[in-house]
C-alpha cells in the first residue's frame, strides 16, 4: 500500500465519527537500520549524521511506497 493512499482514506475512529469515536488509539513505530559501524543519530556527531544521510538517501528515494509522495525541497511541489 502506498503511504499517500493510507493517508487519504482515514477510518471513522480517526475522523472522530462512528459508535466508538471516543476510543483513543496509541501506536509506536520502531525504526531499525542495518548500518554497520555507524552510530545511531542520538549519539552521532553532525558530520557523521550527514555521512549517514548521504548513504541512505538514494535507497530511500527508490522505495516504491514513497515515489510520488515526496516534496521537492524548494517550492513544495512533487518531485516526480
What's the average model confidence in pLDDT over 57-74?
Answer: 72
- H or E element at residue 6: helix 3-8
pLDDT class for 74, splitting at 50, 70, 90? very low
Q: What's the pTM?
A: 0.43
Res. 23 pLDDT band, cuts 50 70 90: confident
Residue 41: name the closest of 28, 55, 27 by CA.
55
pLDDT at residue number 77: 46
Amino acid at each position: 500500500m502506498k503511504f499517500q493512499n493510507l493517508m487519504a482514506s482515514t477510518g471513522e475512529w480517526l475522523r472522530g465519527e462512528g459508535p466508538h469515536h471516543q476510543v483513543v488509539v496509541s501506536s509506536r513505530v520502531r525504526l531499525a537500520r542495518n548500518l554497520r559501524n555507524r552510530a545511531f543519530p542520538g549519539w552521532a556527531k553532525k558530520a557523521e549524521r550527514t555521512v549517514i544521510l548521504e548513504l541512505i538517501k538514494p535507497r530511500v528515494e527508490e522505495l516504491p511506497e514513497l515515489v510520488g509522495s515526496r516534496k521537492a525541497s524548494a517550492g513544495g511541489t512533487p518531485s516526480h
